[in-house]
Amino acid sequence: MIKIGVLALQGAVREHINSIQACNVEAVAVKRKEQLDEVDGLILPGGESTTMRRLIDKYDFMPALKEFASAGKPMFGTCAGLILLAKDIVGYSEPHVGVMDIKVERNSFGRQVDSFEADLAIKYVAESFPAVFIRAPHIVEAGENVEILSKHNERIVAAREGQFLGCSFHPELTDNHRLTAYFVEMVKEAKAKQLV
């Protein structure tokens, strides 16, 4: 059995946990870095990326998050979580966790009032997925090993690179758990490889 953690410093933690549980997988809210040892995959939820970074630093999570990534364990960043995973952020000299070969732009769809929903085709996931965009970033550039999974109005809004998955929107705010289920499969595959 696998266990998936949700980084529980800020953001839509409960909704992600509900979505993981809807995929019949055990979910845990990760509030201490030691808990990362107990989980096979990790979701970095939406929220406010600057606030999340402050809390990551305050609770000394960064070295543990980088170690988690280098151990080959899957990570899924949604909205602010996507920003945390990116190696390059427009207007910033330093990345956060910086494990995914993408360049992202924060708040690229406008402010809170410009939040919207769109039906997206997501490769391997769904022909039509109800995506909720709230002060969403988007992927400006993707490295050669990054697979683009979805675009909205020609902007890249979902991508995967190896064990890393990222999206601009909030899949946890809908009753459609197919993107979470896709991540669950990534975690199962990664764990199976580690057991070999």
Q: Which residues are catalytic?
A: 79, 170, 172
Q: pLDDT per residue over 5-44, tens digit each?
A: 999 998 889 999 999 999 999 999 999 999 999 999 999 9
Q: What is the pLDDT of residue 69?
A: 97
Beta strands in the chain (DSSP E): 3-7, 26-30, 41-44, 75-78, 86-89, 100-105, 116-122, 126-133, 138-142, 147-152, 155-161, 164-167
Q: What DSSP string runs through 38-90?
A: G-SEEEE--S-HHHHHHHHHHTT-HHHHHHHHHTT--EEEETHHHHHHEEEET
pTM: 0.95
CATH superfamily of 3-195: Class I glutamine amidotransferase (GATase) domain (3.40.50.880)
* Weakly modelled stretches of the chain, pLDDT under 70: 108-114
> Quick one: which of 155, 183, 195, 190 has its CA closest to 72?
190
Q: What is the pLDDT of residue 155?
A: 93
155-161 and 164-167 as β-strands: parallel, antiparallel, unpaired? antiparallel
Q: What is the pLDDT of residue 107?
A: 74
Q: What is the pLDDT of residue 101?
A: 98
Q: What is the pLDDT of residue 111?
A: 60
